[in-house]
Structure 1
Amino acid sequence: MFTTLPAQQPFLWALITCLIAAIAEGLASGTRVRAVLAELRMPGLAPPFWVWTLIGVAYYVLFFFLISSLLSTQPTIPLTEIGVALTAILMVLNAGWNWVFFRRKSLRLSFLLFMPYLACALLLALVLHRLGNPFFVWYLLYLFYLLWATWWGCRVWRLNPN
């Protein structure tokens, strides 16, 4: 697959990747994120907007360290390449979810998008574990968040049938 992962400057490549993903997510979400959330009926355990902001920051901090650690791993190990690819897929799916939820306002489809996202996230967890990645435990916390987020997405869809 990749014979020249950018291992020379993994922090720089991780930063560039996260910046591009954050910009894509922002463009996909649009300018009415807070307004769209305010228009919806929310489940009882829905966090306030500022907590969503902290979750987003934590996501990019985690993914920055995941990407930099994967790029610092020997590129001859196929699992490293798979880990980089799965991380990129998750970031693209994340931006896509934001477009579906905030722009299209398709709550059903946004819930259904959790399924491929969860599948990719679980595969990445397996890869990180097999590689002995130092951020595997932190990534497990993200998986627990994803389970809650999937429940949240289902509840928002069910509470807002139109």
Structure 2
Amino acid sequence: MTSGGQATAPGRLAAVALSAGPILLAALLGNAATMPNIAPWYEGLVKPPLNPPNWVFGPAWTTLYLLMGVAIYRILRRDPQTPGRSRAIWLFAAQLVLNAGWSFAFFAAHSPLLGLAVILPFEALIIATLLAFWRIDRAAGACLIPYVLWVAFATWLNAGIFALNG
């Protein structure tokens, strides 16, 4: 460790691997659950106002996953004795499970209701993660703000799809 509580070079490499691996896995699992269900199922649903075109989701999620990677990297490179660090990492892991889980609930199960049942605690966990990160590293917390906002928007879309398609 350096005097600022930051990890050394080998610690940074481990933090990069631990940051990227789980996020990539969640992205790949979510993509595997989503892509086969776009056509015809998702395309056939009635959508609420402001539903973006399908091409928006790829760049949006790529950006969010990159920001998540930066955020967790900044937390992982902190001294393991940093107060709240372990809790922040566990919150991040929990929200990441629900991140992938939502795609299975909504797309693979063809269930906007099940998607809603997953996305509500998912959003709560992202907010808790943002707050935990913010207490340790404000830049890490700030990286999660777009994620919180996007999933709040996704929650609104999910609820609208449920309401319109019963």
Question: TM-score by structure 2 length?
Answer: 0.85
Please, which runs of 5 or more residues in structure 1 have no aligned partner? 1-5
User: C-alpha separation between the residues in 1 aligned to 2:60 and 2:110?
Assistant: 21
Cα distance in structure 1, aligned partners of 2:104 and 2:74: 29
Point out where structure 2 has 5 or more consecutive residues left out of the alignment. Answer: 1-9
Q: Separation in 2 of the partners of 1:41 and 1:71?
A: 42
Q: Report deviation, 1:30.
A: 5.0
Bigger drift between 20-29 and 143-152 goes to: 20-29
1:3 alignment partner in structure 2: none
- Shift of the 42–13 alpha-carbon distance from structure 1 to 2, 3 Å rule, reads same
C-alpha deviation, 1:33, in angstroms: 2.6
1:111 aligned to 2:83? no
Measured in 1, the distance between the counterparts of 2:77 and 2:161 equals: 39
* 1:157 alignment partner in structure 2: 162
Paired amino acid for 1:151: W
> Quick check: 2:11–2:77 contact (8 Å CA) kept in 1?
yes
Q: Tell me the CA shift for residue 85 of structure 1.
A: 1.2
* SS at 1:113 equivalent: helix
RMSD value, Cα: 1.8
Q: Identity percentage over the alignment? A: 26
Task: Give the whole-Å Cα distance in 2 for the aligned partners of 1:62 and 1:34.
Answer: 29
Give, in whole Å, the separation in 2 of the partners of 1:92 and 1:33. Answer: 21
Separation (CA, whole Å) in 2 of partners of 1:34 and 1:84: 36
What is the correspondence of 1:5-154 to structure 2 with a 5 Å cutoff? 7-9=11-13, 10-29=15-34, 31-154=36-159
Give, in whole Å, the separation in 1 of the partners of 2:21 and 2:149: 27
Does the C-alpha gap of structure 1 residues 146 and 23 become closer, same or farther in structure 2, counting only changes over 3 Å? closer
1:94-126 deviations in Å (ceiling 9; x for gaps)? 111100111111111211212211221121121
Per the normalisation by structure 1, the TM-score is 0.87
